[in-house]
Chain A
Amino acid sequence: MKRHLAALTVLLSGGALSAAPLENRFFTPYFDMGVSQGAYLPSSGDFFSGAHMNMNVGALAKITDKHSIFALYGLNFAGQAFRFQDTSEFDSKDLSHNFNFEYRWQVLDFLRLRPSAAYGMNYTRTAAGEIWGEGLYDSKSVGGGLAADYTFGMFDKDATLTANWIYRQIKFPNYTDIIREFQGTDSQAELAGGLKDQKLAEYGAMLSWNRIFARFRYNTINYDNERVVQSNGVYGAEKQKDSNIILSGGFSRNLWIFEASPELSYATHRSNQNFLLFQSVTDPSPVFAANFYDYNEMGIALPFFMNLTKKWALNLGLDWKRRSYSDREPRSGTNAFIAGEKQTNNFVIFTGGVRKKMNEVASMFLTYSQVVATSNNKFQRYLPTNYSGQSILLGFRLTY
């Protein structure tokens, strides 16, 4: 469930679009790139290495003072790493390509409209090690959007209020439900294809002022074919519908030699989908769990830098994510629901390291992290829910 939400987050992240430099010339390139390589040592299991790479390359073509076009290509690779519980395996990998085209129209001095079109491909490799392009969760998305930027003065500083709407049609060509194929006849097995295909609509608003921001997002995901499983263990006529509300806010400040950019977020996820707990593929009486996927999630990020010289800085950081399921009961080590409890996951990362600015546009960093993941769900045959781990990450960052 979370895998495709993570993919959607990539598709939906419009931040880079508004980050392109605006200068008084016809053609302005945009470039942003980060590469990192880490070694990971979990509390149980083998150590592993993983790399991350993201690159955004774009160009702003200024046709007239009021009309411009922005094109952006984004490549994102997320390799092996420690994961938040209930999302994916340490060994899973994601590779995405996203193309965005945005027309920018300065309607009035204080109002700008930005209609856009987007196309994206997301490739995944689970721990099973599929070949790129044959991943179970591979997806392709196509869609468009409209954003409006309203600029106004507030306490002697400019503020911008952005409202946006986006729509995406997302196909998962390789996805299927193995249990349904196993249990069904050949003809029914074909019906398991396209189960994850979905349509997404999102409405959002963001206020930014004096390096402070507050953001609201609301989206709905309507599945084309997936139906809701009922308490009798049969899929009914009702189709799956999910929704998310995400509130976030933060600021960035420099004070003397210190830099800080704390962020807070709160999200709710709701789905009409239920869950059947099978003890085995041939389990004749699976346990029904209603509203299994609903949760509320809180996040805190506290990155902190201390500039020792113009080039060198020490960094410390704390990230904490807490997910509380509304109805889901945690499971025991033998995969049985524990009645009377609700599942809660905590994921905390402590980081410390050094950053060196190599020049005006680039920096490199060496970061040590300690991860502590705890949950009252003790069933972790497929995904670890209670673990700790350490990692060392070496990377480069470049932004123009």
Chain B
Amino acid sequence: MRNKKLLLFALAAAFLAQPLRAENQFQSFGIQQAGKLLANPPLFFYEFQRNMESTFPLPPGKRFGVNTHLLGGIIIIPLPDVTSVFNFSAKVRVHPESKLAPGIPQVDLVGGYWNSALTSMVVDKNAKTTDTETKLSRAELGGNYGAVVFTSSLEPRVRLFWSYKFSRMNMDIGLSKPEVILGNSVSAFKSELTEHTVAAGLEHTYGENKRWILEGGYGVRNSLLSAKVSWYRKYLELGLNIYPESVFIMQPQLNLHFNF
């Protein structure tokens, strides 16, 4: 353990042993990322929806499942995000693997919905343009999705799954007065985003009610790449979502599910 810490320390020290230009570097990086956000706000919020969407297959022998996204976020520790209150997903198995004929995959249908109740807590409906501070005059965020998942066993403990998912997200955020952000005058963000995502992944069972899942996906409409690695237990799932082109690339997740 001590050696590992020393190794990590040495790597970090070597990486940071550069001329002191860190402040400008981080400022520049921050401006770049803020620019990405402003360039397409719905894409930024859609990542939160992607975090609550679940296209993992139902475990073998399970016919029905429900799950909810508890915590997510943009830093190392998962925290409540805009979808945490409220979101809900359900899965139903319409065909068990090899029932109709040997080799025919398990087929699951998935659907989910979210509507952010947290936004009402930060909205000031009495906000006026004459107020000194800029406030949120309205904030509506929500979405839904549907998916079909096909799953085949490669061997007793390994399953391969494919999925197609359709997602829709709506956002309507209004400011009490226009704000200049990075040179742009912004008074509202209002948009709808739709996406068609094709994904594939591998599930590895390494113990009773213990699964390790890796999934990669591609959103055809907006060229969105995503990957997810998850430790899936009987009721809880700890995951790490990876969005290579995102403002926040790695986003940890904690989800709760019940499968029957």
Contact = CB atoms under 8 A, between A and B. Distances in A.
Nearest to B205: A359
Contacts of A132: 223
Contact of B242 (A26, A37, A354, A400): A37
B223 A75 contact: no
B129 interface: no
B160 A400 contact: yes
Contacts of B160: 29, 31, 400
Interface string B206-224: 1000001010101000010
B14 A390 contact: yes
A400 B250 contact: no
Interface residues of A, number: 40
Interface in A323-373: 354, 358-362, 366, 368
A398 B202 contact: yes
Given A41-B15, A41-B18, A398-B214, A361 B202 contact: yes
Interface in A14-30: 26-27, 29
A120 interface: no
A57 B162 contact: yes
B14 A133 contact: no
Contacts of B212: 358-359, 362
Interface in A372-400: 390, 392, 396, 398, 400
Contact of A29 (B154, B229, B249): B154
Contacts of B223: 95, 123, 132-133
Given A57-B162, A77-B225, A37 B244 contact: yes
B193 to A, nearest CB: 15
Contacts of A75: 216, 218
Contacts of A361: 158, 202, 204
Given A35-B227, A77-B244, A359-B204, A26 B28 contact: no
B15 A400 contact: no
A398 B213 CA distance: 10
A358 B14 CA distance: 27
B214 A362 contact: yes
Contacts of A123: 223
B7 interface: yes
A219 to B, nearest CB: 29
B25 interface: yes
Nearest to B152: A29
B11 interface: yes
Contacts, number: 95
Contacts of B154: 29, 31, 400
Interface in B1-44: 7, 11, 14-15, 18, 24-25, 28-29
Contacts of B216: 33, 35, 53, 55, 75
Interface stretch (A44-52, A63-71, A143-151, A196-204): A44-52
B156 interface: no
A46 B244 contact: no
Given A31-B200, A35-B216, A51-B245, A392 B227 contact: no
Contact of A51 (B28, B214, B242): B242
Contact of A57 (B200, B225, B227): B200
B183 interface: no
A360 B205 CA distance: 11
Contacts of B61: none
A3 to B, nearest CB: 19
A185 B206 CA distance: 68
A41 B7 CA distance: 19
B182 to A, nearest CB: 15
Contacts of A33: 200, 202, 214, 216, 227
28 contacts: A26-B103, A27-B152, A29-B160, A31-B154, A33-B227, A35-B227, A35-B242, A47-B25, A48-B29, A49-B249, A52-B244, A55-B200, A55-B216, A75-B216, A77-B244, A95-B225, A97-B218, A358-B212, A359-B206, A359-B212, A360-B204, A361-B158, A361-B202, A362-B212, A368-B14, A390-B15, A392-B15, A400-B202
Given A29-B160, A400-B154, 17 more contacts: A26-B103, A29-B154, A31-B160, A33-B216, A35-B229, A41-B15, A46-B24, A46-B25, A46-B28, A53-B227, A57-B200, A75-B216, A79-B244, A79-B245, A359-B212, A398-B202, A400-B158
Interface of A: 26-27, 29, 31, 33, 35, 37, 39, 41, 46-49, 51-53, 55, 57, 75, 77, 79, 93, 95, 97, 123, 132-133, 354, 358-362, 366, 368, 390, 392, 396, 398, 400
Closest 9 CB pairs of A and B: A51-B244, A132-B223, A35-B227, A55-B216, A57-B200, A29-B160, A46-B28, A368-B11, A47-B25
